[in-house]
Amino acid sequence: MKIMVEENKPVTTETSEKSVVVEMKNLKKSFGEKKVLVDISLKIYKGENLVILGKSGTGKSVLIKCIVGLLEWDEGDLILFGQNVSNLKRNELSEIRKK
Ligand SMILES: Nc1ncnc2c1ncn2[C@@H]1O[C@H](COP(=O)(O)OP(=O)(O)OP(=O)(O)O)[C@@H](O)[C@H]1O
Ligand SMILES: [Mg+2]
């Protein structure tokens, strides 16, 4: 699986820093013995387009399901809009998902 980021327009100005919308740190997800995500780390900045490429069954959907909260991961951190959601409860998560 390859993760490619293409910035479609500059989001940095001299006075502001690019804001990170999604950050993943060493995310791991297995189903039984099958390791699907192994230490996935990435940052998605506001204004960027992210493309995830890979053969069927390499974990693209699992990765996205973790980001949107449809799957729980085993280890690692997911930070959305600057907030670490790894240990959030369901109702707290639903507020962030509205964004
Ligand atoms: N709920 C689940 N339970 C067990 N295994 C799962 C589950 N979801 C996904 N997998 C396994 O995880 C691996 C990655 O699946 P995933 O659906 O993320 O692949 P994908 O890259 O999205 O493939 P495709 O291009 O066909 O959509 C596969 O081996 C799949 O069988
Ligand atoms: Mg898929």
Confidence of residue 9 (pLDDT cuts 50, 70, 90): low
- Spacing, Cα 60 to ligand 1 middle (Å): 8
pLDDT reported for residue 97:
80
What CA–CA distances, in Å, run from 33 to 3, 36, 57, 81? 24, 9, 15, 32
For residue 69, the enclosing domain spans 2-9+19-97
pTM reported for the whole predicted model: 0.85
Instruction: Report the nearest-CA residue for atom 17 of ligand 1.
Output: 61
d(CA 29, CA 58): 12
Query: Is it the case that residue 11 has pLDDT exceeding 70?
Result: no
Query: Is it the case that residue 12 has pLDDT exceeding 60?
Result: no
Determine how β-strand 75-80 pairs with β-strand 20-31: antiparallel
pLDDT reported for residue 69:
87
Alpha-helix runs per DSSP H in the chain: 60-68, 90-97
pLDDT digits (tens, 9 = 90+) for 34-72: 999 999 999 999 999 889 999 999 999 999 999 988 999
Residue 10 CA from chain centroid, whole number: 21
Domain CATH number, residue 89: 3.40.50.300
Residue 28 lies in a domain: yes
Query: Is it the case that residue 17 has pLDDT exceeding 80?
Result: no
Determine the residue of 29, 58, 74 to mutate for testing ligand 1's pocket, defined as the one with the most ligand atoms within 8 A of the Cβ atom: 58
Residue 93 lies in a domain: yes
pLDDT reported for residue 14:
44
Q: How many domains is the chain partitioned into structurally?
A: 1
pLDDT reported for residue 8:
58
Instruction: Report the nearest-CA residue for atom 1 of ligand 1.
Output: 31
Residue 32 lies in a domain: yes
Residue holding tokens 């993943």? 24
